[in-house]
Chains A and B, each alone.
Chain A
Amino acid sequence: MTKIYVTGYGIVSALGIGITPTLEALKTQRSGIGPLRWLNTLHSHLPCAEVGYSTEQLREIAGVPKGPVTTRTALMGIIALEEALRASGWSKGNPLPPVLISGTTVGGMENTEAFFLDFIENDSKNEYILAHDCGVCTQMIASHFGKFDTLSTLSTACSSAANAMIMAADMIRTGRTDIAVAGGSECLSKFHLNGFHTLKILDKDPCRPFDATRAGLNLGEGAAYLVLESEASVKARGVTPICLLSGYGNACDAYHQTASSPEGIGAVLSMEKALKDAGLRPRDIDYINAHGTGTPNNDESEGLALMKVFGADNVPPVSSTKSYTGHTTSAAGSVESVISILALQHNFLPVNLHFKYPMKELSFLPVTNDKPIRPLKHVMTNSFGFGGNDTTTLFSKI
């Protein structure tokens, strides 16, 4: 099987813009969760993990000229994608990787919700109408850089970015391209905040994944992209890869639209498929970045799935970094992949923040000490979405 190398990465989240502040936050246990600053909502008492810049500021940071509509989701995507491309050795004016696959669900919803009544009644904001689409969001991100040969967009809710990475990796494995960029971007919107609120799964306090007192998730926003590359391309370009995307798996829980099966059937299957794909045994895994939303349902179901896959007494160190970034929904798969890769590269375990009380259902405790017992060689990331769209990715040292 063709090896897939990661040769670039970029990230935007409430922890900051770029790899450097992200790593600093993880190592110093600084959370990005706090009061809302930009999103205008009745539910402003709910803590969220907002990216710390207004949409106008993001436009300036991204270097996108005023004029054509560019959504917040696209702007965060542009910033993260540029960092990933530059890390892989690309610079402006040079040919782009041929393939960009992106994951999103809200697309341009933050404008649609602001102007929808205007679309119906006043017609003063009609330039935002077609910017609602998820595919247009990918096009906006792409067109900032120049000409990609193939674009596509995934939308499997909170596993969108993880599945975008799978699609891109499969395009390399089937010989369609040697190099591809994949990830996802998603901004906060009133639509999503209210949607999650109606489901009663938002915590009024900062989230406590894998804690007995956990009471829900905090929404976040962000973007992250990875440059994926075949061995031949890595050699031909003479670049130093960061790590391997050593395996991945996708399965469906097929249980309920917004809840996980009690025993985490889909989660077990996606982890087992990823291990099989990578040719690794459960005991090879040194760290797991859990989906770990902090909802009572997810953490119990995922925890039981981990015990099933790894054995109740042999679950590797597990943490959820949603206690730092909030739940970045469609971007979570790539945001948390970048975080897992940072753990692998810098040999530390991201501490699961706000953990106090063990869950009686689980045989393991989340990570509270950042020092690994053994050097990290293989790390796992889980991304589970509404609809039971469960995806697992594995990254390994070279």
Chain B
Amino acid sequence: MPVYIQSAAQISVQNPLCDDWLTDPVALQAPLQRIREADYRRYLDPIASRRMGKILKRAIATAVTVVEDSGIEQPEAIIVGTGLGCIESTEKFLLAMLREGEALLSPANFINSTHNTISSHIAIHLKCNAYNSTYVHLGISFESALLDAFMQFQLGRIRSALVGAHDEMVPLYFSIMEKAGFWEGKTATETAVSFMLSDTLTERAMAEIREVILLHRPSEERVRQAIEQTSLRLGIPVEKWVIPPTVKPLFGESFTNHAYEVYAAAVKLQRGLLNEHVLLINNYRGMETSLIFLSKC
């Protein structure tokens, strides 16, 4: 069963919910640049909006955008990848507990602290009882979610899926991670990307997902072997896969920034700015590697 990216939406340090970054990119500001927020009033009423952290508002806005763009109102799966989940709520609850003690805590920040808060809020917003899951595996959290969706299609269980990548970064947690040597001079940003996948080739389909592979501490040989085996199975010569330049200079880094690579590749494939077959390789600190194979529709 083919799997197409029907629509994709991003909120990032670039202008939100559009493709302005292609022609009119915003320069990154090191070391931490938070997201350029969209206008969420179009997506959420003020009461709901007040109760939600920024990461949830961004998730709803990108999810609703791909629902509207694709016309798929009830996706048959909602799957999210997030490195740290709702770290702002987690940090607030933790700090209140440590500084003010255990006696007078309120539940709001705890309720919003679990990683799966994001996918469940999307489900509640769309009133969608479908398959729902959340992956939290460092720099390949998003690709884990994408692999899950891809397998659901392969097994014939679903015909559409909403896949998201969401991370937020707050100044305190940024500085703590900095102390542990995490950022290494990279520009830290946040992530909010949603994709609507479906098995139907429509006029607006952006790209076809051909395969998703996750590898733990692979040798160069293991990566080469995985690419060769996939190429053979898909009947596409190895040399046809083009690895596009990274869009990290435009979107920065978070645990799930690789979703911007997929988003940008899909946009470029649709506009004929990339060749027929694209291979996206994410090597996360030598620990986890993902391979995503895309083709033009």
What residues make up the interface of A, taking CB atoms closer than 8 Å to B?
41-43, 105, 112-113, 116-117, 119-120, 123, 126-127, 129-130, 133-136, 138-139, 142, 147-157, 163, 167, 170-171, 173-174, 176, 190-191, 194-195, 197-199, 250-258, 265-266, 269, 385-389
Contact = CB atoms under 8 A, between A and B. Distances in A.
A152 B124 contact: no
Interface in B89-138: 93-95, 97-99, 101-103, 105-107, 110-117, 119-121, 123-124, 126-138
Contact of B129 (A127, A151, A269): A269
Contacts of B105: 194, 197-198
Given A119-B179, A151-B216, A387-B114, A174 B134 contact: no
A41 B101 CA distance: 10
Interface in B216-240: 216-218, 222
Interface in B11-28: none
Given A112-B94, A153-B136, A173-B155, A254 B127 contact: yes
Contacts of A176: 151
- What band does the interface of chain B fall in when counting residues whose beta carbon is under 8 Å from A? 35 or more
A151 B137 contact: yes
Nearest to B108: A198
Contact of A174 (B99, B117, B155): B155
Given A134-B136, A150-B215, A156-B132, A257 B97 contact: no
- By Cβ-Cβ distance, the 7 closest A-B pairs, closest first, are A387-B120, A195-B110, A252-B132, A135-B138, A198-B107, A129-B180, A42-B102
B79 to A, nearest CB: 10
Contacts of B112: 257
15 contacts: A42-B103, A105-B115, A135-B138, A155-B114, A155-B115, A155-B116, A156-B116, A170-B148, A174-B155, A252-B130, A254-B128, A387-B114, A387-B116, A387-B121, A389-B132
Contact of A148 (B136, B137, B151, B216): B216
Contacts, number: 193
Given A129-B177, A135-B136, A254 B120 contact: yes
A252 B151 contact: no
Nearest to A153: B137
Contacts of B29: none
A155 B120 CA distance: 12
A192 B154 CA distance: 37
A251 B119 CA distance: 12
Interface in B159-212: 172, 176-177, 179-180, 182
B131 A250 contact: yes
B114 A265 contact: no
B136 A154 contact: yes
A206 to B, nearest CB: 22
Instruction: Summarize B's interface: helix, strand, loop or mixed.
Output: mixed
B259 interface: no
A14 B245 CA distance: 51
Given A113-B98, A130-B180, A194 B110 contact: yes
A133 B83 contact: yes
A351 to B, nearest CB: 31
A191 to B, nearest CB: 6
Given A42-B103, A388-B132, 9 more contacts: A133-B136, A135-B141, A155-B135, A252-B130, A252-B131, A254-B123, A254-B127, A386-B117, A388-B124
Contacts of A133: 83-84, 136, 138
Contacts of A251: 129-132
A269 B110 CA distance: 27
A387 B136 CA distance: 16
B182 A265 contact: no
Contacts of A171: 151
A331 to B, nearest CB: 15
Contacts of B287: 139
B148 A255 contact: no
Contact of B85 (A123, A152, A155, A258): A155
A385 B83 contact: no
Contacts of B176: 119-120, 129
A149 B130 contact: no
Contacts of A256: 124
